[in-house]
Structure 1
Amino acid sequence: MSRSITRRKISLPSLSPGSSHELAVYSFGAANEGKSIYLQAGLHADEHPGLLVLQHLLIQLMQLDELGKINGQVTVVPYANPLGMSQRVFDSVLGRFDLANGENFNRNFPNCSRVISQKIKAGVKCSSSDWKRNFATHLASVKPTTPTATLKLELTKMAMQHDIVLDLHCDVDCVSHLYASHAQQDQAVRLATALNIPVVLLEPDDAGGHAFDNVYGSTWRELEINHAITSGARGFSATIELRGKANIDDRLAQTDAAGLLNFMAQEGIIDAATTAGTDSQTTPTQTYPLVAASHIPCPAAGIVVYKKNPGDSVIESEVIAEVVHLDSDIIGERTPVHSDTNGVLVIRQAPGLVRPGQRLALIASTTLPAIRDENRPLLDA
C-alpha cells in the first residue's frame, strides 16, 4: 500500500463480553494538500448498495494514488455501522434502529453548537482549518456512555475535519435521489449531475433530528450566517439515496463510483483527466423543496399493488396503488390510493402486506401543501 494511503481501525466498546466491533478507515492523500472529502456507507446497516459502491471506489482510488492523481484528501469509511450489521434476526439484518433503545442510527449525532456559540459571542473569526481544530477540541471532550454513542462520535469527529461529506444510503424501492441544504443548491445539483441523479430534495439547515449530514451542514451554516467564516468557506454535505435495497449490482456500483470520482474531479480533489470516459448524464436533474414532499399513507390493511414506478410523473388524484383486502366480505375488493399532488413518485416504501397509516410512497412536488403536519419529520433518511 502506498505511503499516501493509510488504513486504520477504530475500536468500539463491546456490546457484550467476548464480542468486539471496529470501524475501518481508509485515507488517501493529505489534508494540507487541497480540498478534502469524506464518504461513508451503511449507517443504516440494512442498506447495502453503498457498501458495494465504496468497494469499487476504493479500487479506483488506489489506482489514482499510484498515478499520483489525488490532489487533496479522500477518507472512506466502507461500513459505518458495524453495530447495526451485527443485529441479525433469523438471518435478516435489522440495522436501521438500535435494538438497545429503538433509536434510529441516523439521529442524535453530537454537534458543535456550544463551542460555536461561545466563539461567536467572543467575536472569533478564523479560517476553516482553525474551525476544524475547534471542532476537534470540542468533540474530544464529549464522553459517550454507550457503544452506539461512541460510534456516532467517532464518525462525527472524522466528518467535521473535511470540506465535503457524503453519506450513502438507499430506500426500499426508489429512483436515485439526494438530500441537501437549500443554501447549497448549486453544489447539490453538480453532485446529482455527476451521479446521474434525477431528483434533489432541498431541506432547511434546521431540519431537526440531528441526522449525520444535517449536523455537519448546520454547523457550517451557523458560522456562515454569523460571518464567522469567509464567503464560500462553508463545508458541503449530502445524503445520497442509491435506488432501492435490491439494486446491488456491479455495473450500477461501478457507474456510481465513477460519478463520485467525476464530482471529486470537479472539486479539484483528483485529477480531472482521470474521469474521461465516464457516462454522461442521461436524466435531467430537478430540484424540489423537501417541505413540499407528499407522504402518501396507507388507507387499509391488505396487500399493496403499485400502479406507478419510481421516477414516474404523477398528477393529483391519479391512482398510484391499490390495497387488496384479504378479509373482505366482497371477494376481490380493493381500495385505491391516490396521489394528492402533482410531481414525481420517488419512493415506493412498503411492498407486500401493509397496515393502515404506514407510508406507501413519497412524491416530490414543487407545490407546498395547504396544511402540513408539523409533527412529521422533514427527512426520513
Structure 2
Amino acid sequence: MDQAPSPAVVQQIPLPAPAPGTSRVLTVLRFGEPGARPKAYLQAGLHADEFPGMLALRHLAEMLETHAAAGEILGEIVVLPLANPVGFAQQVGGFLHGRHDLASFGNFNRDYPDLAKEIADTLGERLTQDAAENVATIRAAMGEALAERAPRTETAALRHHLLTLAHDADIVLDVHADNEAMPHLYIGTPLWPDARDLAADIEARAILLAEISGGHPFDEACSGPWWSLAARFPEAPIPPACFAATLELGSNDDVDEREARRTAEALLRFLARRGLVGGVSDLSPAMPRAEATPLEAMQQLIAPTGGLVAYHARLGDHVRTGDLVARIIDPVGAEADVLAGTDGILFARHNQTYAWPGKVIGKIAGETALPERKGELLTD
C-alpha cells in the first residue's frame, strides 16, 4: 500500500532571549523528504521592512502544500516567509526599522561567515577527481564548521540558523525588495547564464553580476565558497554546487495580493523546472527582459548636498551619461544636479525624497565598469 504524501512540516527554532521575559522563534516550513535532492531554500524578510517577498512566499507555501498533498514534491524544499523575527519586532516611532539590527547597527544581510576560508585547510587530501564526491565532502565540512559555532546574541544566532538551514542547498533564493524599484536580480557571475530562466520568471529589469560584492551578504555566503574553493584547489573538480541569488521584487511597500500570487506562481515554475516539483504545466521560460551587466557597472547616484529630491527621471527610463536624473533643492538655499554617470536603465530610486550629503538616491544599471566601483559594491 502506497504511503500517503507528507504535508509541510512546521519547525520552530527558538532564538536566544535578548532580555528577561522576551523570546522569539524562527518558523521554518519544510516540504518533501529530508535529505532528498535537489534541495531548495527560499527566504523572505531578511530585511524585515521589505514586505512583498513575505506575502509571495506565503502564497508559494500554500501552493507547495497542494503539490505535497498530491505527492508532487520531488526534492526537499525549505521555505521561510519571515526569516527575521528580530527585525520584524523593531517598531520605533510608528515605523518598522528592519534593515539594520538596532542592538548593533549592523545590516541583517551582511557579515555572514566565509565558509570557504574556514574549511579550506581541513579539505586537503579529502578531495578527489569525482565532482559529486567533492560536493558531498565540502557540504559535510561546511556543516561541521557551522556546528562548532556557538553564537551568543539573538542576531548572531539568527544568522547562524539561516546559514545552517541553507548551506547544503542546491538552490538558495533570498527574496528582497528595494526602496522604490523595478524587479531586479543579484547573482554570482559563475551562475550566469544558468540563471536566465529565473531572471525571466521574475521579469527582472536589471541583472547584476559579481563574484564578490563586498560585505558578505547571505546569498554569497551560500554560493561564493564554491568558486572560491575551486580557485584554491584547481586540481580537483569543484562545480558551483549552490545556485544562490538575491531577488529584488520591486518596491518595499508594494504589497499586492495579485502580484504576490503571480510571483509565487513564477517561483513555483522555476522550482518545477529545476526538478523539485511535479504536476506544474507551462514550464517554458520567457526571454529575460534585461541583459546581465557587471555590478561594477551599476552607478549609485549620490546626493552631493542636503535637501529635497526632485526626480527628473522615472523608474525604467533609459538615461545617457550627463542626463539630469534628479535635482537636490535646499528649501532656503541652493540647488545641485545629480547626473547620470553612465548609459543604462534607472531601476531604483529612494522613496524618501529628502537627501543628505552622500545618500544613495538611485541606481543605474550600466554596461561598462565604473572606476569608482571597487570594494563594497552594495548599498548598506
TM-score, normalised via structure 2 length: 0.92
Give 2:157's match in structure 1, choosing from 138, 150, 169.
Answer: 150
Does the 8 Å CA contact 2:297/2:373 hold for their aligned counterparts? Answer: no
**Which amino acid letter does the alignment assign opposite residue 372 of structure 2?**
R
Question: What do residues 13-58 of structure 1 show as CA deviations (whole Å, max 9, x unaligned)?
Answer: 0011111011000111124433110000111111111110111101
Is 2:32 the partner of 1:29? yes
| 1:66 matched residue in structure 2 | 69
TM-score normalised to structure 1 length: 0.91
Is the contact made by 1:5 and 1:28 (CA closer than 8 Å) also made in structure 2?
yes
Aligned to 1:303: 308
Query: C-alpha distance in 2, partners of 1:31/1:130?
Result: 18
Q: How does 1:112-261 map to 2 (within 5 A)?
A: 112-125=115-128, 126-204=133-211, 206-225=212-231, 226-227=233-234, 230=237, 232=239, 234-261=241-268
Tell me the distance in 2 between the aligned counterparts of 1:283 and 1:236.
Answer: 18
1:274 to 277, 280, 287: 280
Per the alignment, residue 15 of structure 2 pairs with 12
Q: Is the 8 A contact 1:4 1:30 kept in 2?
A: no
Return the alpha-carbon distance in structure 2 between the equivalents of residues 200 and 351 of structure 1.
24
Asked if 1:48 is matched to 2:75, the reply is no
Distance 1:20 1:327, change over 3 A: same
Match of 1:89 among 75, 87, 92: 92
Measure the CA separation in 2 of the matches of 1:119 and 1:231: 16
CA contact (8 A) 1:197 1:285 kept: yes
Could you say what secondary structure the match of 2:50 adopts?
coil
Unaligned runs of 5+ in 2: none
CA contact (8 A) 1:258 1:275 kept: no
Amino acid at match of 1:180: I
SS at match of 1:351: coil
Cα RMSD over matched residues? Answer: 2.1
Per-residue CA distance 1:53-96 (angstroms, 9 max, x = gap): 11110110001111121111110011111111111102211111
* 1:261-284 deviation line (CA, Å, top 9, x unaligned): 11111211112x414399x74862
Matches of 2:93 and 2:144, distance apart in 1: 43
Q: 1:111 Cα shift?
A: 3.2
Matched length = 372
The whole-number CA distance in structure 1 between the counterparts of 2:7 and 2:169 is 17
CA distance in 2, matches of 1:228, 1:149: 35
Report the residue type matching 1:274 in the other structure: V
Query: The residue matched to 1:186 in structure 2 has which SS?
Result: coil
Give CA deviations for 1:235-254 in whole Å, capped at 9, x if unaligned. 11000111011211011111
Structure 2 letter corresponding to 1:121: G
Which stretch of the first structure deviates more once superposed, 166-175 or 29-38? 29-38
Residues 59 and 373 (structure 1 numbering): CA distance in 2 closer, same or farther, change over 3 Å? closer
Q: What residue number does 2:378 align with?
A: 379
Shift of 1:293: 0.9
Question: 1:46 and 1:229, CA in 2 relative to 1: closer, same or farther beyond 3 A?
Answer: farther
3-state SS of paired residue (2:172): strand
Which aligned pairs between 1:99-110 and structure 2 lie closer than 5 A? 99-110=102-113
The runs of 5 or more residues in structure 1 that have no matched partner are: none
After superposition, the Cα gap between the structure-2 partners of 1:229 and 1:2, relative to the gap in structure 1 and judged at 3 Å, is farther
Query: Does the residue aligned with 1:25 lie in a helix, a strand or coil?
Result: strand
Does structure 2 retain, via aligned residues, the 8 Å contact 1:56–1:257?
Answer: yes
In structure 2, relative to structure 1, the CA distance for the partners of 1:58 and 1:298 (3 Å cut) is: same
- Given that 2:134 and 2:238 are in contact with CA atoms closer than 8 Å, whether structure 1 keeps it comes out as no
Aligned position for 1:313? 318
State the SS of the aligned residue for 2:221: helix
Cα distance in 1 for residues equivalent to 2:302 and 2:359: 5
Is 2:38–2:170's contact at 8 Å kept on the other side of the alignment? yes
Partner of 2:289: 284
CA distance in 2, matches of 1:21, 1:187: 38
The answer (yes or no) to whether the contact 2:5–2:70 under 8 Å persists in 1 is no
Q: Distance in 1 between matches of 2:157 and 2:238?
A: 33
Q: 1:104 is aligned with what amino acid?
A: N
Letter in 2 for 1:210: H
CA distance in 2, matches of 1:368, 1:128: 33
Amino acid at match of 1:363: I
Shift of the alpha carbon at 1:120? 3.4
